[in-house]
A and B are shown apart, each in its own frame.
Chain A
């Protein structure tokens, strides 16, 4: 059956038919035709943001918290370019996202028309794929294809740029679309049985294996399979910044996060292992440090759905292309078969690792600056809110502390900008997460710098009744940059002072600002006030809450492996490299 629709109506109808229930966006000339039928849709909730970057990160937060597709929409030119940062972010972190942009009339494309930007060209290297639609009748097939590409294989952002005349033109709409838009798109999900067998053999030969778990395990929804595998072989587990929550922090097999600010047991465990069982991770430089000296003695099993990740940075002895959920389940089965009930003994490896865990637990010291310790604030938020809550972070010190001092027990509860490191991610991502998971407690743990990049979405939260909680870890500076200046630039603090602390000019006053946005706004300066403020925030659900935690600016993120240095040189605290029992 067909029905005469405009291209604009077809966009909305296709989204409805493809199960989209929420879009974040902001209208303008070139997308106006689509906003008209959007107003009538009873299936799609449109949330009007205050900046398109907010729409993009909200779509990301929606996707990361729920595992579903996130959708954002913007007009041509500046509307579209305002999405660019979020699209790049989604690309780096494999977030399933659909970005719809209006484009000038097809005959005006290429003439430098008003609000024309070649957004397909601009986003080519930061999208999984993109479409420029100039004919209304292509819309249903393009929308279906775009969503399929965004959500399958290695997920990622897909851009659909629709010329205004294609939105206005009428055509005969039918569903499902018959035209195949992308015959070249065929992600591999099922691994080669032989490879899985080889991986199992390699595991059982190894004496010092380690599970190097990346964000792919979360995107694949493979946490249960991972748990089963880890329990079967009893191997130590590390979860990267993107994988926090893929394996419970409370489990004794968990060594914590590896990398630049990873735990000593995780960093060292990888360095000393004889086998990396790499699952949905990509040997990012923030994990490996100097690649040449990374886990030098280890063989590598590399499981990834993206063949291009395998062997990109580190040679894989056993490469396995496939969906982590499928591969891990098969691998576990194969191991069970090969073990035949025998126990796989790595107790010597464990006694070494347990020693590390005991000697080098994560921790922090209160500084005698009369200010709150930022780590304490974050730790209390985690303890009071619990592992069912969702935590979105900005980028900087507060992000690292949130990854370190909150215990994650569940996937999709830790949202952050890992690959791109986008300041401004937290508030809109938390907003998107809360929309996707309204019954969940959602925190944005943000820096005073990051917060100033996207806090206007608090207006969106207030107006649309999206009661997120924001904790500003206010150290009155661009803290992470300041930390590097402390460590590597002789304490010359070039342009990192933000003047937002209580003993400064306090511009802006975050309490006044948040109050103006209709939030419950609280300032906390003393240890005794911390718990009460967090509890009040948790109880307040009629509006967003912003807590301005005034913390010391000299706190630093430890442990640390300086950029480009070997992970062997991990520093537990300033000038404190772990001592390796004279074993080498």
Chain B
């Protein structure tokens, strides 16, 4: 099993998220994460889907997704030619004795504290999934009260834009 990052340009039409998600479910493909948002082009959304699979099935996934009429373009973003980032918010238990240790971890991971109360802090961090995982590990001993992650969003390096060719 290997992880692949697929980037989809889709028409911003009702039901498109259902169509994509349902396709994954029906064909038995595993979604690791899925993030959707608007793009530089009006009416076009972009989905970043992280899937867990191998060679042949990945081609099937891509081909099946391409059959969805509202899907405009699909590319696989390879590790070395793209950047992927997760956005994570964590609420960590703190008290007078642990707060400074937590804040040290925040600095080390170039994260940010965005809310503080007497017994906890909310921390924001962005990074690839490895960094987020490592950060969680470091925070765990203090007690993670709540954790929310965006799922990866990804973009290719260099000046080319994914929407260039599709949208004339």
Q: Which residues of A contact B (CB under 8 A)?
A: 120-121, 124-125, 128-129, 132, 149, 182-185, 306-308, 311-312
From 7 to 59 in chain B, residues with beta carbon under 8 angstroms from any chain A beta carbon are 10-11, 14-15, 18-19, 22-23, 26, 56, 59
Known A132-B14, A182-B70, A184-B71; contact A308-B22, beta-carbon cutoff 8 A: no
* Interface segment, one of B61-69, B116-124, B134-142: B61-69
A185: chain B residues at CB < 8 Å are: 69
- Compute how far the CA of A537 lies from the CA of B106 in the bound complex, rounded to whole angstroms: 86
Q: Which residues of A contact B15 (CB under 8 A)?
A: 120-121, 124, 132
What's the minimum C-beta distance from A450 to chain B, rounded to whole angstroms?
Answer: 28
Chain B residues with Cβ below 8 Å from A120 are: 15
Q: Chain B interface (Cβ within 8 Å of chain A)?
A: 10-11, 14-15, 18-19, 22-23, 26, 56, 59-60, 63-64, 66-72
From A184, A308, A312, give the contact of B72 (CB < 8 A).
Answer: A184
- Of A132, A149, A308, A311, the residue contacting B69 (CB under 8 A) is A149
CA distance A132 to B16 in the complex (A): 12
Given contacts A120-B15, A125-B22, A132-B14, is CB(A311)–CB(B71) below 8 Å?
Answer: no
Question: How many angstroms between the C-alpha atoms of A182 and B56 in the bound complex?
Answer: 28
Whether B18 and A124, one on each chain, are in contact in the complex, defined by CB atoms closer than 8 angstroms, is yes
When A307-B66, A308-B60, A311-B59 are in contact, do A183 and B11 touch as well, CB less than 8 Å?
A: yes
Contact between A312 and B60 (Cβ–Cβ < 8 Å)?
A: yes
Task: Report how far A10 CA is from B15 CA in the complex, Å.
Answer: 25
CA A125 – CA B10 in complex, angstroms? 18
Count A/B pairs, Cβ under 8 Å.
Answer: 40
Chain A residues with CB under 8 A of B23: 125
A-B contacts, 29 of them at CB < 8 A, read A120-B15, A121-B15, A121-B18, A124-B15, A124-B19, A124-B22, A125-B22, A125-B26, A128-B69, A132-B15, A182-B11, A182-B69, A182-B70, A183-B72, A184-B11, A184-B68, A184-B69, A184-B70, A184-B71, A306-B67, A307-B63, A307-B66, A308-B60, A308-B64, A308-B66, A311-B56, A311-B59, A311-B60, A312-B60
Q: Which of A125, A128, A308 has the most CB of B within 10 A?
A: A308
A149 surroundings in chain B (CB, below 8 A): 69
CA A185 – CA B10 in complex, angstroms? 12
A327–B115 CA distance with the chains assembled, in angstroms: 64
Considering only CB atoms, which chain B residue lies closest to A185 in the complex? Answer: B69
Docked pose: A308 CA to B67 CA in angstroms: 8
Q: How far is the CA of A120 from the CA of B69 in the complex (A)?
A: 14
A121 and B15 CA atoms in complex are apart in Å by 8
Q: A183-B11, A311-B59 are in contact. List 14 more A-B contacts (CB 8 A).
A: A124-B15, A124-B18, A125-B22, A125-B23, A129-B69, A132-B15, A182-B70, A184-B11, A184-B70, A306-B67, A307-B66, A308-B60, A308-B66, A308-B67
What 7 A-B pairs have minimum CB-CB distances, sorted nearest first? A308-B63, A129-B69, A184-B72, A185-B69, A307-B63, A182-B69, A308-B64
B67 CB contacts on chain A under 8 angstroms: 306, 308
Q: How far is the CB of A131 from chain B (nearest CB, A)?
A: 9
Which residue of A is nearest B25, CB measured?
Answer: A125
CB distance from A148 to the nearest CB of B (A): 10
Residues of A within 8 A of B59 (CB): 311
Chain B residue nearest to A187 (CB atoms) is B67
Residues from chain A with a CB closer than 8 A to the CB of B63 are 307-308
A120 to B19, CA, bound (A): 10
Q: Which residues of B contact A128 (CB under 8 A)?
A: 69
